[in-house]
Amino acid sequence: MVESSKKKTVTMMLFSAPFGSQYADHLCRVAERALDKGYAVEIFLYSDAVHAQMTEQNPKLFFPVGEAVKRLIEKGATIKSCEICSIARGYIKGELKDGKKDYSSTKVINGVNFCSIYGFVDMLSRADRVLSFGGS
Amino acid sequence: MPKLVIEISHSPFGHENAYAALFAAMAWSSMGNEVTVVLRGEGVHTARKGQVDPFANINLPSTEKQVNELLEVGGRVVADRQALQIRGIRAEDLIPGAEVLDPEEIRRVMMECGERFLSF
Amino acid sequence: MRVCLLLMKTPSSDEDAERMLGILRGAKAQGTEIAVYLLGDGVLCARKGQTGYVGLNLGNVPERTTVRASTRDLRARGISDGDLEPGVEIIEDLEGVFIEDVMEKAERVFTW
């Protein structure tokens, strides 16, 4: 277990949807081990990776990404999903309500938040290390 | 501020990769940070000029416009010389401002500027 | 400088191999330490007897190069110890070893 007065942060980008490839599995496993070892973990879901946020995933034979996402959130990971990508894929409307963006959705795992690309840039700039999964 | 290298290895339009990569590069650069976009493999097509209204033709945004905007704000776009050569892409085919580097020079850029690295 | 490479796929062409593994080539001259981590399909790179752009060509890498492959992914793919290039370490908790290397030792990390 890493001991430090300030936790080091690893920021991970996921670019692939779950189940179609193992990238989401790899990210979840690496992220969980990072949390176990005392690092702060921030995850950005980009493009088709936003599908990892969907509730009621039920992969009978595949790595249970939805459950892994919930577990990561419970263990303290920050998971942010691309706002535009999520709107495009029907997860949120992202309309303004009382001056604030409305991100309410029954389709998104509780604890997954949304941000613009500038939110991702903020994550990247604060990270001690950055890892990408699924783009290449 | 830390430097960022973004690698694109997919050609634009067939996959979202190039667009998404350039979108992130632009956002990073617009915050005053240094970014180098490295084009490899099929990704070198991202540096070719002459796209004709992709949105009207195939309902997709112009990556040429993205590259131009990125170069305007000080981002760097470099294409792998070998990848260009085997695809018959000549210097005059490239968006002005896009650079051509040998693989060895690209490796050097990755090592020097790759404090943060994203692969698309 | 210490560099970590995380490979989750195999190269599918000479270009891909140069893109993903070219750092190994440059590292020899510069005295760079390279740690290669193989996860998922990346473990296929470590099989011995491969030619061309497939495989790591471990005979031709810098001295201070370590190659570690995930036990879980090797087993799932039916690859046994004897099928691997000599010098490949087989690690049960590859994700844990990788993340600690990345966070505590490495100065660069590239993932594919």
> In chain C, what residues touch A30 (CB-CB under 8 Å)?
95, 98-99
Q: A117 near B24, Cβ under 8 Å?
A: yes
Which tokens go with C4? Answer: 């970590």
Domain encompassing residue C47: 2-111
Cα separation, A105 vs B64, whole angstroms: 35
Cα separation, C94 vs C90, whole angstroms: 8
Of B19-28, B75-84, C17-26, give the lowest mean pLDDT range.
C17-26
Number of domains in chain A: 1
Within a domain: A4: no
> Residue B73: is its pLDDT beyond 90?
yes
Domain encompassing residue A14: 9-133
Which tokens go with C69? Answer: 């492959």
**CATH code, domain with B89:** 3.40.1260.10
Within a domain: A2: no
Q: A109 near A69, Cβ under 8 Å?
A: yes
Within a domain: A1: no
Largest CA distance in chain B: 40
**CATH code, domain with C38:** 3.40.1260.10
Amino acid occupying residue C24: L
Interchain CB contact of C72 with A (< 8 Å): no
Chain B residue with minimum CA distance to A129: B116
- Full DSSP string of chain B: ---EEEEE-S-BTTBSHHHHHHHHHHHHHHTT--EEEEE-GGGGGGGB-----HHHHHS---HHHHHHHHHHTT-EEEEEHHHHHHTT--GGGBPTT-EEE-HHHHHHHHHHHTTEEEE-
Amino acid C28: pLDDT:
67
Amino acid occupying residue B119: S
**Residue matched to tokens 């087989």:** C90
How are beta strands A100-101 and A96-97 bridged, if at all?
A: antiparallel
Cα separation, B35 vs B85, whole angstroms: 25
Q: C89 near C67, Cβ under 8 Å?
A: yes
Neighbours of A99 (CB within 10 A): 5
Q: A121 near B31, Cβ under 8 Å?
A: yes
Nearest to A79 by CA among A20, A29, A21, A123: A123
Query: In chain A, which stretches have pLDDT less than 70?
Result: 1-5
Of B3-12, C1-10, C45-54, give the lowest mean pLDDT range.
C45-54
Chain A residue with minimum CA distance to C41: A22
> Residue C110: is its pLDDT beyond 60?
yes
Show which residues on chain B lie within 8 Å of chain A, measured between beta carbons.
1-2, 4, 7, 9, 16-17, 20-21, 23-24, 27-28, 31, 33, 116-120
Nearest to A44 by CA among A115, A126, A129, A136: A115
Number of domains in chain C: 1
Interchain CB contact of A29 with C (< 8 Å): yes
Within a domain: A33: yes
Cα separation, C95 vs A91, whole angstroms: 31
Amino acid A3: pLDDT:
52
Number of domains in chain B: 1
Chain segment C15-49, per-residue pLDDT in tens: 999 999 888 877 766 778 999 999 999 999 999 99
ipTM of this complex = 0.95
B28·A130 Cβ contact <8 A:
no
**CATH code, domain with A68:** 3.40.1260.10
Residues 6 or more apart whose Cβ sits within 8 Å of residue C84: C46, C47, C48, C69, C74, C90
For helices C14-30 and B103-113, angle between their N-to-C axes, nearest 10 degrees: 60
> In chain A, what residues touch C95 (CB-CB under 8 Å)?
26, 29-30, 32-33
Q: A80 near A70, Cβ under 8 Å?
A: no
Give the pLDDT mean for B24-49: 97
> In chain B, what residues touch C17 (CB-CB under 8 Å)?
none
